[in-house]
């Protein structure tokens, strides 16, 4: 994954001494001068600069970045991007995500991948960066939190179509996302003939797996995990459909499908009980039936993404 040039740079005494000095300063947060970073390995050459922090996660940080060009430099990158960054020693999730995105290729319903770069900061810290499409509408999670009682069914229908089209594509390429949730659905403005609405795109493939890949650990976010994944560590296409059903329920109610429970209780309820997420009574009959096709404890009985796209709930204009 990392070229010989970047590997040698990572192992050189100069970079190593600076890295270990950085690790020892536990109480100090290093000030990274982004403009002084230089590329060690690059799919485009260092032609962008980080502008501001968008968020942090277990993998590292996400930055809003802008492409910079000179008279002697041309780039195929867009003018703005989201750059996911992690120090090299903690970059396994991003490197895995890069591999998955390369295999998936481009889809209008998946956040686009532009390339990767390994850089070294002014402090001598080696950083792995993923260059991704910037979604200015931010996340579905933020959209849900702005609503008091859930989104309008028309918006839920629209986002559900986009997410299912994304899942259909991902599954057709032989992958399971494993972490479908509102925070991993990003929004892009500009749906034709609809004011104030967004297009939804699936993001964050850090724990995605190939369908034939063995899995012995829990993957994803517990409150969106399916019964079979919690109980048997079994992950299949239907696992994403259960998580999608939880997302639809959260869009409709602005509440978690399982309420707010302790982790221990949540594992017991999801994996070893007959309890089901409560479907509200104030939604349409089509929406109720749609959820009942997603939230089925027996994975084999859940509808596929393709089948759900034909459901009457999504056929209403």
Which stretches in the chain have pLDDT values below 50?
A: 1-14, 16-36, 193, 195
Identify the pLDDT of residue 5.
36
C-beta separation of 230 from 219 below 8 A: no
Question: Which parts are annotated binding residues for ATP?
Answer: 84
Show me where the domains of the chain are located.
30-70+77-133, 138-314
- What would the two tokens of residue 76 be? 């195929």
Identify the pLDDT of residue 46.
62
Distance of alpha carbon 182 from alpha carbon 202, whole angstroms: 9
Is 204 catalytic? The answer is no
Q: What share of the chain is helix, strand, coil (3-state, %, to 5)?
A: 40, 20, 40
Question: Which parts are annotated binding residues?
Answer: 84
Distance of alpha carbon 210 from alpha carbon 96, whole angstroms: 11
- How many C-beta atoms surround the C-beta of residue 155 within 10 A? 19
Distance of alpha carbon 15 from alpha carbon 32, whole angstroms: 15
Structural fold of domain 138-314: Transferase(Phosphotransferase); domain 1 (1.10.510)
Ramachandran assignment for 45, one of left (phi > 0), alpha (psi -120 to 50 degrees), beta (any other):
left
Cβ neighbors of 63 (< 8 A, separation 6 or more) are 50, 51, 52, 53, 54, 82, 83, 85
Q: Which of 148, 155, 162, 179 is catalytic?
A: 179
Identify the pLDDT of residue 201.
98
> For the structural domain made of 30-70+77-133, what CATH number should be given?
3.30.200.20
| Whole-prediction pTM | 0.83
Identify the pLDDT of residue 76.
81
Tell me, rounded to whole angstroms, the distance of Cα 144 from its chain centroid.
17
Q: Which of 152, 174, 181 is nearest to 257 (CA)?
A: 181
- Determine how β-strand 185-189 pairs with β-strand 175-176: unpaired
Identify the pLDDT of residue 31.
41
């Amino acid at each position: 994954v990392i070229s010989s040039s970047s590997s040698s740079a990572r192992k050189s005494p100069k970079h190593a001494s600076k890295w270990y000095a950085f690790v020892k300063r536990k109480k100090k947060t290093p000030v990274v001068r982004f403009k002084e970073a230089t590329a060690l390995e690059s799919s485009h050459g260092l032609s962008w600069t980080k502008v501001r922090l968008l968020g942090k996660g277990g993998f590292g940080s996400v930055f809003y970045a802008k492409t910079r060009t000179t008279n002697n430099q041309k780039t195929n990158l867009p003018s703005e991007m989201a750059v996911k960054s992690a120090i090299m020693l903690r970059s396994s999730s991003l490197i895995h995500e890069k591999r998955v995105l390369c295999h998936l290729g481009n889809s209008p319903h998946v956040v686009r991948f532009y390339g990767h770069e390994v850089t070294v900061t002014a402090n001598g810290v080696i950083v792995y960066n993923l260059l991704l499409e910037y979604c200015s509408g931010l996340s579905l999670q933020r959209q849900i939190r702005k609503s008091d009682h859930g989104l309008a069914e028309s918006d839920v229908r629209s986002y559900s179509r986009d997410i299912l089209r994304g899942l259909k594509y991902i599954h057709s390429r032989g992958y399971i996302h494993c972490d479908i949730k509102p925070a991993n659905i990003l929004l892009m403005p500009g749906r034709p003939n609809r004011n104030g609405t967004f297009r939804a795109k699936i993001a964050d493939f850090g724990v995605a797996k190939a369908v034939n890949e063995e899995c012995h650990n829990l993957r994803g976010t517990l409150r969106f995990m399916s019964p079979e994944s919690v109980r048997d560590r079994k992950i299949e296409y239907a696992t994403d459909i259960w998580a999608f059903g939880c997302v639809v329920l959260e869009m409709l109610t602005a509440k978690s499908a399982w309420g707010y429970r302790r982790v221990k209780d949540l594992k017991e309820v999801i994996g070893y009980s007959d309890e089901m997420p409560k479907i509200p009574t104030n939604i349409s009959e089509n929406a109720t039936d749609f959820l009942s096709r997603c939230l089925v404890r027996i994975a084999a009985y859940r509808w596929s993404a393709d089948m759900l796209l034909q459901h009457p709930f999504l056929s209403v204009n």
